[in-house]
């Protein structure tokens, strides 16, 4: 049972925008940096966003991250069929003394 809640799925047409929320608490999202990962089943997860809103080199600026209070958001603009994957948020939980991942969100391109 994850302490970070994400919507099970989001969808949009190619070229459109989707946002994925990651809802937590003061012991995790509220006071620690959030990362976002893209995961195609059967492959290694890829870091998309770290420190709430920073992109590693090579990640296009179509991907963006933000945080407000105890919620974080991943945005994907200019949606492409290649973006169909599972997306996870993650952060340290100071109460649990554990790194926690969100429940995961499947992105579908209509």
Which residues make up the interface to another protein (CB under 8 A)? 2, 32-33, 35, 37, 39, 42-47, 50-51, 56, 88, 90-92, 96-104
Taking the complex as a whole, the smallest distance from the CB of residue 80 to another protein amounts, in Å, to 22
In our burial notation (b when 16+ CB lie closer than 10 A, e otherwise), range 70-95 reads: bbbbbebeebeeebebbbbbbbbbee
String of DSSP letters for 19-75: EEEEE--TTTGGGS--EEEEE-TTS--EEEEBTTTB--TT--TTEEEEEETTEEEEE
User: Among residues 39 and 62, whose Cβ is nearest to another protein?
Assistant: 39
CB 75 within 8 A of CB 67: no
User: Among residues 56 and 78, whose Cβ is nearest to another protein?
Assistant: 56
Helix (H, G, I), strand (E, B) or coil at 83: helix
Taking the complex as a whole, the smallest distance from the CB of residue 98 to another protein amounts, in Å, to 5
Taking the complex as a whole, the smallest distance from the CB of residue 86 to another protein amounts, in Å, to 8
User: Among residues 30 and 45, whose Cβ is nearest to another protein?
Assistant: 45
User: Among residues 84 and 96, whose Cβ is nearest to another protein?
Assistant: 96
Taking the complex as a whole, the smallest distance from the CB of residue 88 to another protein amounts, in Å, to 6
């Amino acid at each position: 049972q994850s302490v970070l809640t994400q919507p099970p799925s989001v969808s949009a047409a190619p070229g459109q925008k989707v946002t994925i929320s990651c809802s937590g608490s003061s012991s995790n999202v509220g006071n620690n940096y959030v990362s976002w990962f893209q995961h195609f089943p059967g492959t290694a997860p890829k870091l998309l966003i770290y420190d709430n809103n920073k992109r590693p080199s090579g990640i296009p600026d179509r991907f963006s991250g933000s945080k407000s209070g105890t919620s974080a958001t991943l945005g994907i603009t200019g949606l492409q069929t290649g973006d169909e994957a599972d997306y996870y948020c993650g952060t340290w939980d100071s109460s649990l003394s554990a790194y926690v991942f969100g429940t995961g969100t499947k992105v579908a391109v209509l």
